[in-house]
């Protein structure tokens, strides 16, 4: 298997730390995109910028085959104040790479550099550096700008680090792998009044409390117990004084499922419960439903191909062929709805070891030891899936 030289590993650790020092939020990844574009261009890639706002695509063609392959990395950071104390900590107040997108970008750049110099493939390689994965839907924006029309891919792959898993372990999964994410704002309208005379008001606070409890039955009594789903009421806003019955209450709800049919069913049941609960208390309800990311479903055939590459080039104890489903969400799901492919994890560090701090935490940092195996896997995948025909 092609591996990076020690000098190359150090080079791209430095790139990762540079990106980490200068984090940029969704659709503002201008410095990062410029760095990526400059590097790819210097290595001989045909570079396209501005897809989805700040997205970058680097294309490299070798040989005469019409086969195509896409690899994707995300570039955006999060609005979190860093608390790592690292020498390469964020220079941007209140913004940090708390999910490892700096590392994902560096791994793919390291692979891109090696493949430009030593790639043994026949076909077209499309490297997709995506903005705004963290809730911004950058994948959809790039697709709306013609990503797969301009850069067709027979298959597309992405990799994300995962704390709690031994550093460098590659985790695959066929079928549903990450949850959908949907959000609802429920506003209850009643008739306010004096706390001492509740009979002359319609109390939205009591209605909201009852609705919160009723929503707990959506998963426990409406969803197949073998199907994962989560309904969370994360916020309730109502009233300001202890002796005033407010006229309005607002609930913020998040929903996650791992099956498209369950997703539709849960939405329908929530809508029904909201209206019925409101009616039972004599108040009115409005629901603002915001569809988030889709269920991420890995294609069985492409996952098998990706796993076969890992088994050929990595030791067995560094591979998990069918990891658990994850209740987090990822907008690479939209790309997989358009193009068959697979999304895998690389361990950032087992519990109690460096790199184990969970993502979206002020103390999180990407494990630089993953630059070498992450890039090596991408190199192997390209050379195997686009291998020259005899």
In this model, does residue 390 exceed pLDDT 70? Answer: no
The secondary structure of residue 146, as a DSSP letter, is T
Name the average pLDDT for the chain.
97
Query: What pLDDT shows up at residue 3?
Result: 83
- % the chain with pLDDT above 70: 99
What is the per-residue pLDDT across 187-227, written as a single tens digit (0 to 9) for each? Answer: 999 999 999 999 999 999 999 999 999 999 999 999 999 99
| Non-local CB neighbours of 47 within 8 Å, separated by 6+ positions | 37, 40, 41, 56, 57, 58, 59
The answer to whether residue 2 scores a pLDDT higher than 90 is no
**Largest alpha-carbon pair distance within the chain?**
87
With a cut of 70, say whether residue 353 has pLDDT above it. yes
The pLDDT value given to residue 389: 75
Average of per-residue pLDDT across 240-254 = 97
* pTM score, whole prediction: 0.93
Rounded average pLDDT over 132-150: 97
Predicted confidence (pLDDT) at residue 90 exceeds the cutoff of 80: yes
Helix axes of 30-42 and 101-118: crossing angle, nearest 10 degrees: 10
Handedness of CA 38, 367, 320, 8 (dihedral sign): positive
- Compute the Cα dihedral for 299, 304, 307, 308 and give only its sign: negative
Cα separation, 299 vs 8, whole angstroms: 33
**Alpha helices per DSSP H over 90-178:** 101-118, 138-144, 147-150
């Amino acid at each position: 298997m092609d591996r990076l030289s020690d000098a190359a590993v150090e080079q791209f650790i430095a790139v990762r730390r540079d990106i980490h020092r200068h984090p940029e939020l969704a659709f503002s990844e201008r410095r990062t995109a410029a760095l990526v574009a400059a590097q790819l261009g210097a290595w001989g890639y045909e570079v396209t910028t501005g897809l989805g706002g700040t997205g970058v695509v680097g294309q490299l063609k070798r040989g005469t085959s019409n086969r195509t392959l896409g690899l994707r990395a995300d570039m955006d950071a999060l609005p979190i104040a860093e608390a790592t104390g690292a020498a390469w900590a964020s220079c941007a107040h209140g913004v940090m790479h708390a999910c490892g997108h700096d590392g994902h970008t560096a791994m793919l750049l390291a692979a891109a550099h090696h493949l430009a110099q030593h790639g043994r493939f026949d076909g077209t390689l499309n490297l997709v550096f995506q903005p705004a994965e963290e809730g911004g839907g950058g994948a959809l924006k790039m697709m709306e700008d013609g990503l797969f029309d301009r850069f067709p891919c027979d298959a597309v792959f992405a990799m994300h680090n995962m704390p709690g898993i031994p550093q460098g372990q590659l985790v695959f999964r066929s079928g549903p792998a990450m949850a959908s994410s949907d959000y609802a704002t429920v506003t209850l309208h009643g008739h306010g009044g004096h706390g001492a005379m509740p009979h002359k008001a319609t109390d939205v606070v009591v209605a909201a409390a009852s609705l919160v409890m009723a929503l707990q039955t959506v998963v426990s009594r409406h969803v197949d117990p073998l199907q994962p789903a989560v309904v969370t009421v994360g916020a309730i806003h109502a009233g300001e004084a202890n002796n005033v019955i407010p006229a309005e209450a607002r609930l913020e709800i998040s929903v996650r499922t791992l099956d498209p049919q369950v997703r539709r069913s849960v939405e329908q049941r929530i809508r029904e419960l909201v209206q019925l609960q409101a009616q039972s208390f004599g108040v009115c309800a409005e629901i603002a439903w915001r569809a988030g990311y889709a269920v991420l479903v890995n294609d069985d055939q492409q996952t098998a191909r990706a796993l076969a590459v890992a088994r050929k080039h990595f030791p067995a104890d560094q591979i998990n062929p069918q990891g658990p489903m994850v209740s987090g969400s990822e907008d690479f799901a939209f790309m997989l709805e358009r193009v068959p492919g697979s999304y895998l994890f690389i361990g950032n560090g087992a519990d109690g070891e460096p790199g184990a701090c969970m993502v979206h935490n002020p103390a999180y940092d990407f494990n630089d030891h993953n630059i070498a195996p992450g890039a090596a896997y991408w190199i192997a995948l390209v050379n195997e899936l686009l291998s020259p025909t005899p």
